[in-house]
Each structure stands twice: as C-alpha cells, then as structure tokens.
Amino acid sequence: MAYLYIKSLHIIFVVSWFAGLFYMPRLLVYHTEANARPDAERAILFQQFIKMEGLLFRAIMVPAMWLTLLTGTAMLYLMPDWLSQGWMHIKLTFVLGLVGYHLYTRRLLYEVKAGRFRFSSFQLRLWNEVATVFLFAIVFLVILKSTVQWLWGVGGLVLFAVIIMSAVRIARNRREKKQN
C-alpha cells in the first residue's frame, strides 16, 4: 500500500516539475522578445520577468525536481527488481537527461538575469520542446517496458520531434508574415 501512495506522490511531483519545465522556456521567450520594446517598457518588463522566472524556478521547479527524484528513489527501493530491467536503465538515462535539461535551463535563466540574451526567441521555442520529447520518451518507457515496443516508440518519438519542430517553424513563419 505504501508503494501506491509514493507512486501517487511521484506522479504529482512529475506533473509539477514538467509544468515548470514547460513554462520557464516560454517565459524566457517572452523575456527575449521584450528586448524589442522601447526602453521604459523594456525595463519594466525585464524586472517583471526576472521576478516571475526566479519564483517559478525556486518555488516550483527545484522542489518538484527533488521530490520527483526522492519519490522515484523510494519506489525503486520498494521495487528493487526494476533495477535489473533494461527499460528502467533507459528510463533512468532519460531522467538524468531531464535533470541536465533542468540545470541548463537554470543556466539560461541566470544568463538572461545578467542581461545576456544569446539565444533568439525561435531558438528558445525549440528548446521549450525538448522537455516534451523527454516526457514522451519517459512515459512510453514506463508504460510499454518492452524492447520491441521501445524501438517503435523511439521511431515515433523521432517522428514526433520532427513534427513539433516543423510546427514551431510554421508558427514562426506565419507570425512573421502577419508582422509584414
């Protein structure tokens, strides 16, 4: 019974973490686009975005990440046989990649806070979709757990990533046409 409570908490924390992982790059997109505003407006927006980004990172993303990792570890403790299964090794590799994504997003946040905008809003929109790819990969691995199904899942994941990247590019082109 303890396992089900921990699993429920794990799912809640994963959802919270991903909410932050999806929203932070979007805020960075808006923050970057605010640089095109007149000076007075840009200064106000800069301070507001710094406040929102910092609060999102410190109050939601960091605690949710740690609680996700803690409850995930607790589930592995209660189900140690999973550590001998290939799908779990792949899943843990993706989770490690997700932590790397989280930490790199933090780096982007600190750069923007320091006034360094090295990525365009389009590049940040693409970065925003990386979390979606991680989400799909992890969920399909947990549900399917099969090597053959995993191979089909990877193929689908690659196709999904191409579709998302194409959709972002199409949306950008439409936005640019409306502005001209």
What is the token pair recorded at 157? 């994941």
Confirm if 101 and 130 have CB atoms less than 8 A apart: yes
Give the C-alpha separation, 83 to 119, whole Å: 39
Gap between the Cα atoms of 29 and 123, Å rounded: 9
160 within 8 A of 133, measured Cβ to Cβ: yes
Q: Is 10 annotated in some ligand binding site?
A: yes
d(CA 54, CA 160): 31
- Known binding-site residue numbers for heme: 10, 91
- Known binding-site residue numbers: 10, 91
